[in-house]
């Protein structure tokens, strides 16, 4: 039995190899809890690329080809979760992105909503 390989087989094998190297824990790392109960979650950026090529030639349909790929993982930030607040601590000195600002606003918005609800409850009790 003849073992015929195609460019699709080559590309599938390359992608399967890259998938084995990367999982969800590569992007959002495993949480670490400190002694005071603060949870630290690393967040990374993943860049990935691959290429493959091949050719069938000759009367017997011989195949020749090759493939390769690479992965780059860069730390981006740490998500700090404590009983008081949630913060996004960027690794680089770059200015905050819109996402960073939104995440950092969450504790303040929750406190304001809680204060509003308490004030409303108190007003209803007084009436």
SS3 label, residue 47: strand
pLDDT digits (tens, 9 = 90+) for 57-68: 777 767 777 777
Is residue 78 over pLDDT 80? yes
> Which of residues 53 and 80 earns the better pLDDT score?
80
**Nearest Cα to Cα of residue 30 among 17, 41, 18, 22:** 41
C-beta of residue 95 within 8 angstroms of C-beta of residue 77: no
C-beta of residue 120 within 8 angstroms of C-beta of residue 97: no
C-beta of residue 29 within 8 angstroms of C-beta of residue 41: yes
Helix%, strand%, coil% for the chain, nearest 5: 40, 35, 25
**Nearest Cα to Cα of residue 107 among 79, 69, 74:** 79
Distance of alpha carbon 125 from the chain centroid: 47
C-beta of residue 70 within 8 angstroms of C-beta of residue 46: no
Query: What pLDDT is attached to residue 72?
Result: 83
Mean pLDDT of all residues in 43-51: 81
Q: What band does 106 get if pLDDT is binned at 50, 70 and 90?
A: confident
Q: Which residues contact 79 (CB under 8 A, 6 or more apart)?
A: 40, 41, 42, 43, 86, 87, 88, 89, 103
Query: What pLDDT is attached to residue 1?
Result: 40
Domain extent listing, the chain: 1-92, 95-127
Is residue 77 over pLDDT 80? yes
């Amino acid at each position: 039995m003849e073992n015929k390989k195609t460019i699709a087989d080559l590309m599938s094998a390359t992608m399967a190899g890259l998938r084995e190297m990367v999982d969800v824990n590569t992007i959002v790392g495993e949480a670490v809890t400190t002694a005071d109960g603060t949870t630290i979650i690393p967040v990374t950026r993943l860049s990935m690329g691959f290429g493959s090529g091949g050719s069938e030639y000759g009367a017997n349909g011989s195949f020749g080809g090759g493939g390769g790929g690479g992965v780059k993982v860069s730390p981006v930030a740490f998500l700090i979760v404590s009983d008081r607040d949630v913060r996004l601590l960027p690794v680089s000195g770059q200015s905050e992105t819109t996402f960073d600002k939104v995440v950092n606003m969450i504790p303040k918005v929750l406190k304001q909503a809680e204060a509003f609800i308490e004030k409303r409850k108190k007003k209803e009790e007084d009436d």
